[in-house]
């Protein structure tokens, strides 16, 4: 039986993102990793640290997509309310997770496990932990919702670990053809190729480098042969137009 592609949505949580104070890179990292294993990222949203919004968005996403990934709001400060919000979204109690507490006690054995730090051990009652190899305080998942911290280096390490346990979807195949011709020159031909290979996605991305410009055409799909055939046709056409094509 042919595999069905899994879908996902990403929810970025944090007032500091919306105010522009912090540059958001986590969704870019997650979507690339999901693409790599064949899970389609269908939607990315950024919302405030407000419980009603988090609850609403999590409940919408977890019904729409196979996987939901959140980032932000699980630290020790007063505005870190994601864990409590996730618990409410699932109708669960927020309780102290004894394994999370144990890890924090060990990590802060030569320091003070303050009330603020202990807050990171309070999770939804039926949550499963996601290991944190950098700062110990765990993330968690509940059914199809995976909850990560907002600090990029920590999130990335945790995400790389958990993604290997996900049920992978259909793999994507991708090739890129670059040219020094402009979109205005090649646009009509690329439109014809897109119609011919309707099952593929062909993206056109202008680039600007020092003293030069051009276009990168990204061809992707689930059929490796069709991706290769379309890429070769595009390459030959650009070559015939003296467009200095490169394929990779």
Question: For the segment 162-212, what is each residue's pLDDT rounded down to a tens digit?
Answer: 887 887 767 778 899 999 999 999 999 999 999 999 999 999 988 886 677
Residue with tokens 């790599």: 36
pLDDT, tens only, 102-147? 999 988 888 889 999 999 999 999 999 999 988 889 999 999 999 9
C-alpha 139/C-alpha 127 separation (Å) is 9
- pLDDT class for 3, splitting at 50, 70, 90? low
What is the rounded distance in angstroms from the CA atom of residue 132 to the CA atom of residue 134?
Answer: 6
**95 exposed, middle or buried (CB, 10 Å; 0-12, 13-18, 19+)?**
middle
Structure confidence at residue 4 (pLDDT): 76
- The rounded distance, in Å, linking the Cα atoms of 159 and 163 is 6
Find how far residue 169's CA is from the centre of its chain.
Answer: 15
User: Any residues with CB less than 8 A from the CB of 21 and at least 6 apart, and which?
Assistant: none
CA distance 247 to 63: 40
Long-range contact pairs involving 193-201 (C-beta distance under 8 Å, separation at least 24): 193/230, 193/233, 193/234, 196/230, 197/221, 197/226, 197/229, 197/230, 199/223, 199/226, 200/226, 200/227, 200/230
pLDDT digits (tens, 9 = 90+) for 70-89: 999 999 999 899 999 999 99
What does the chain come to in residues?
A: 248
Q: For the chain, what is the mean pLDDT?
A: 92
């Amino acid at each position: 039986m042919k595999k069905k592609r899994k879908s996902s949505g990403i929810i970025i949580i944090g007032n500091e993102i919306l105010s522009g104070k912090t540059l958001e890179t986590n969704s870019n990292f997650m979507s690339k990793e999901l693409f790599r294993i064949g899970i389609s990222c269908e939607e990315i949203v950024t919302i405030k640290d407000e419980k009603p919004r988090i609850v609403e968005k999590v409940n919408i996403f977890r019904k729409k997509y196979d996987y939901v990934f959140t980032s932000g709001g699980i630290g020790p400060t007063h505005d870190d309310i994601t864990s409590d919000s996730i618990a409410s979204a699932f109708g669960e109690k927020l309780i102290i997770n004894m394994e999370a507490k144990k890890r924090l006690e060990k990590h802060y054995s030569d320091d003070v496990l303050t009330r603020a730090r202990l807050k990171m051990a309070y999770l939804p009652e039926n949550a499963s932990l996601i290991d944190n190899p950098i700062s110990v305080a765990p993330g968690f998942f509940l059914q199809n919702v995976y909850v990560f911290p907002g600090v990029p280096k920590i999130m990335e390490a945790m995400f790389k670990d958990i993604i290997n346990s996900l049920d992978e979807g259909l793999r994507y195949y991708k090739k890129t053809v670059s040219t020094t011709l402009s979109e205005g020159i090649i646009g009509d031909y690329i439109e014809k190729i897109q119609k011919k290979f309707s099952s593929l996605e062909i993206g056109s991305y202008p680039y600007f480098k020092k003293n030069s410009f051009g276009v990168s055409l990204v061809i992707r799909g689930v059929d490796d042969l069709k991706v290769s055939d379309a890429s070769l046709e595009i390459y030959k056409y650009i070559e015939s137009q003296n467009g200095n094509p490169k394929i990779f």
